[in-house]
Amino acid sequence: MWRLQPIEFMAREGPRHDDLPNTGKYRDGFGNRIDVRAVANPPARRNAKTRLELGRQKSSGFGVVRVDKAKGTFTLEAWPVDVEPASDGAAPYAGWPVTVSQADCAGASNPTLPPVVLEGWPDEVFPVVQVRDASGEVVSTVRMKGPRLAPRVYDPQGEYTVRLLLPEADGPEGRVLKTFEKVSPGSGGALVWRS
């Protein structure tokens, strides 16, 4: 039977984030890499007299995720149970908020496909790049922020289908701009769309 392994007994691989306790890079009980950016740790001893005090001392609270589509970032917040985030002087738990980019989520060490390159793109709204694996499952769907994007994948030996989409276009024919099939990491060249 698998037992929960307390984080203080896990070997940290590198420094803590902002010198906060229990943060940093670890491997969980299954050997998966995890990066703990922030935590809301309860105190070792509690002396609460009310439920609200007990909730705060147990690090009870709620989370808020703010998405910035233009920057491609997610800001994660952890708030104490008795705090109204919009009020003056409101503060989340120590170490929060944490901002993560879409690129962080793709795995910096994962292989990339040849870049999708737009030549003569006529609009300020860029298309979406969707990658599907050989079984047709969606691997990623990312809005381009400029005329070039090299999508990350998980299997360096896999073959993928890359579709260039414009969701804002009228009708299904206008939405799929181009499809590139049998694309694999390390294959040369670029996946080019020309106006």
Q: Where are the domains of the chain?
A: 7-103, 116-190
Q: Please give the helix or strand (H or E) that residue 103 lies within, else none.
A: helix 102-105
User: What average pLDDT does the segment 88-114 reach?
Assistant: 87
Q: What is the pLDDT of residues 136-171, one digit of tens each?
A: 999 999 889 899 999 999 899 999 999 999 988 877
Residue 8 pLDDT grade (very low, low, confident, very high; cuts 50, 70, 90):
low
Residue 33 pLDDT grade (very low, low, confident, very high; cuts 50, 70, 90):
confident
Rounded Cα–Cα distance for residues 21 and 67 (Å): 27
Say yes or no to pLDDT of 9 above 70. no
User: What average pLDDT does the segment 66-95 reach?
Assistant: 91
84, 45, 34, 105: CA torsion to nearest 10: 0
pTM > 0.75: no
